Each structure stands twice: as C-alpha cells, then as structure tokens.
Amino acid sequence: MSRSAPRTSNNLSLDKPIAGVTILALGRDGTEVALEELRRHSPEQLSRGLQELPPTQRVEFLETAERVDEIVPLLPEAEFTRTLRGHGIEESGWLVEFASPEQRIAAVDLDCWRADRFSPSRFFDWVDAMIEAGPETLAASFSEIDSEVWTLAMRAMGDFEIVGVAGSEDNPDGYGGGATIDGVVYYDAFSADHDDRIRAILTAAFEVVPTKYWSLVYGAISVADPESDEFAIRWQRNRLGDLGFPEREQAMQVYVPLTTRAIPAIDSTVTGDPASIVICAGRSPARTDENLLGQTLAQLSPDRGNEVMSSMLALANSLAVADRLALMDDSTAERSLAKAVRGIERGLTEIARAQNRPLASILDAVSPLELFRIGVGLDSSLRLRNPRDDWTEREEVDDWNIETEVIAEQDAIPTNLNVRSETRDMD
C-alpha cells in the first residue's frame, strides 16, 4: 500500500472535474501515465469525484492512492463515516489515521447514536479503528470525543476499582481482575476483546496524555450521573444539526398532514432541458430519469432543479431522524430518499389533479416538504413506522446495534423508484 508523499504536476487541472469512475479506473491501471493523470488533479477534485462511488470502491482507490493523507480529510464528515461503515470498519479502519478531528467526532455522533440511545458496540468498532491507527491518534480522541461517551464505553467494557497494590494492607488478597499500568487501579473486563481494548486505551492515555488517564479511570469508577450523560446527548444533537440532521421534535414536522387546499393556485411557466436527472442519495447516485419525479425535475431550470434536489435530501435526513433510523447504516439514506420520493410524488399528482396544472409547474412552485406532507395525509404507508417508540423502553443493556429489527413492507427499499400506475396517468 503506497501512502508516500505525492509527486504533483506543474499542470494541475484545477477547474476540470474528474468523475469517480475515471478516478477508479486510473487507480486500477496503475501505470505511470495513469498516475500522472491523477497527479494533474487536486486532492479537492479527487475527493469530490470519489463521493460518486460506493464505499468499497472508494477504499479500493485510497488503498493505493499517493495522496491519501490529503484526500481523506477533504471528505465531508458524513461521507467519511459512510465510507468506513459501508465498506467495513474492520477493513478500512486504517483511514482513521488520516481523518481530521472533525471527521472522527462526526463518526461517533452519526454512527453510534440512535436518537437518545448510545450503542457501545458500534463505538467499539471505532475504538478498534483508532487503536489500529496508533497511540497518537487514539490519545487525541480522548480530547476530541466527549468525556461522557468515553465514560459510557469504559463502564460497558469492565468493572473498575482502586484497591491499592495486591498483597498490601488495603488489599491483602489481591484483586481478581487485571492491574492497570499504574499498579493501583484494577479492572475486571467483561470479555477478552474488552481486556485488549482497555489495555490499549489506558496505555495510550498513560504514556501520551497522563491527565486523560485519570479522567478515564475515575469516570469508569464513579457512580453513573444521568445529568452528566445528558450533556453528551445535548452536544451530539447540536453537532448533528450542523451536519444537516435536525432534532427529532423538528424532524417530526414532516409527518404533519397538509391538504391541497393549503396550496394557492399555481401560475408558473417552466422551461428546461429534459435531460436525465441524477439524485445523489448520499452514497451511490440513484437514477430517477425513468420515474415520474425524475421526468418532472428534468423540465425545471438547472438552478431550480438543484434547489429541489437539495430540499429532497434535507427531507430525507429529517425522515431518517423522525423514523429513528441508524443514520449511517448501509440502507438508511436509500430508504429515506425512497420514502421522500414516494411522498413527494403522491402530493405532486394530487395538486396537479386538483388544480389541473402540469406537474412541472407544481414542482417549480411548491416545496418538497409541502408535497410530502400532502402525501402523508393521503397515503397511510408514508406515516411514522413506529410511533410508540417501544424500543426506548427496553433494558439498558440491550444494545441496538445487535438487534434484529423487522422492516415494514412499505419501508423496504424498492428496486426502482417508478410510481404506481394510477399516478403515472397524470403526466
């Protein structure tokens, strides 16, 4: 694996985008001619192009990229997290070494929480990746990631106690667990994997940032403080808002039904190139040029089309939060976008029928959120899947990462986004 310093060309193609498939093909080629072509593009261009590829292909390229240390930090935080989770953190954890602090923080915020519920096992995946990245990266994470999160993780890995030196007056019989590096703190790990993690964590802290060592130890020993743990939830929510994911109370507004009577009469003239439209679902692009919404989008001006697509992605983010989906699970972006498209199409056709207007005129004048809310009032399959939130009432030891959940039929990812026959007649 080559991760050496890049050899750059004096003739950089700074204003010319490069497609993800082209980047991948050049990387697979590996000849000097192919490598020179890659060098002509900036890390920013390569990072943007890579986002068009699915996670496994992104990692395939990065494994041999010359400027991996420059490309990786330029991936948006959600895309960095999605890349490692989608490909498999155990196989791509080495990329954590090249990640920015913001990317590592976002990985925990996005991937290890589901609403107010923390998943220790998903966090352990990232801990293992940081251990693989090396003690300096692991030690840096003690300051980057909220101390309350580390406390929750330490308590989930073992029981800790300060009992003095084994055989001393304070501890005549010794302690049944393992001694930490200072010889004073003892722990009893809940598994062999946790024993390895605890040793790596405390060794990195003791040798690199000693003040964090005692913070980790005393956090694990102290009595759980619900108010303190609430701080972690609050900070995580705020950071998710910066990444485009609203708080659940706000996200739930997407499910407030709206009637067509709330939409004023549309009077819009739409022009545009009926070219193929591609909507990015946050991972691999999902083509929509063969369904009703895609055909309608193609009739809008490019600027308005981009605005509508951005609003659709924001709506999909809100649906993921409202439905309490694991934000970085492989299917979440596709499921949420598919549901958004289904609801928008339902509202779109209903207004077009009520006002006897072209679909493009409606889409040009009415926001995707309003269209979805109209769809919610007409189609019960679009409504909240699990409004009782009964999963939050289960035992605390129940880690949602390892649950097997039944996906409602209406929430399954469709093989395509074609609309039902009765709505297609409206076009």
Instruction: State the DSSP string of 117-186.
Output: EE-HHHHHHHHHHHHHH-HHHHHHHHHHS-HHHHHHHHHHHEEEEE--STTSSS-TT--SSEE-TTSSEE
| Rounded-to-integer distance, Cα 337 and Cα 343, Å | 10
Per-residue pLDDT, 172:
46
In order along its 427 residues, the chain shows pLDDT tens digits of 445 444 444 555 556 789 999 999 999 999 999 999 999 999 999 999 999 999 999 999 999 999 999 999 999 999 999 999 989 999 898 999 999 999 999 999 999 988 778 889 999 999 999 999 999 999 999 999 998 899 989 999 999 887 655 444 554 444 445 666 777 788 889 999 999 999 999 999 999 999 899 889 888 888 666 666 677 787 778 888 888 888 888 889 999 988 888 888 776 655 444 333 333 333 333 434 457 888 898 899 988 988 998 899 889 989 988 888 888 876 787 888 889 999 999 999 999 888 888 899 999 999 999 999 999 999 888 888 654 444 444 444 456 664 433 333 333 333 333 322 233 233 3
Instruction: State the DSSP string of 244-312.
Output: T---HHHHGGGGS---GGGSPPP-----------EEE-SSSEEE-TTSHHHHHHTTS-HHHHHHHHHHH
Residue that has been written with the tokens 């189609």 in this structure: 379
Per-residue pLDDT, 392:
43
In which element (H, E) is residue 374 found?
A: helix 368-378
In which element (H, E) is residue 61 found?
A: helix 55-62
Compute CA distances 318 → 42, 78, 87, 179, 327, whole Å. 33, 15, 25, 47, 10
Per-residue pLDDT, 14:
59
Number of other residues whose CB lies within 10 A of the CB of residue 83: 26
List the domain boundaries for the chain: 1-74, 92-243, 244-424
Per-residue pLDDT, 134:
94
Helix (H, G, I), strand (E, B) or coil at 113: strand
Per-residue pLDDT, 231:
74
Per-residue pLDDT, 295:
87
**Angle subtended at Cα 47 by Cα 62 and Cα 240, rounded to the nearest 5 degrees:** 105
Per-residue pLDDT, 269:
58
Nearest to 328 by CA among 140, 88, 132: 88
Instruction: Using the CB atoms, write b or e for 7-29: b if 16+ within 10 Å.
Output: eeeeeeeeeeebebeebbebbee
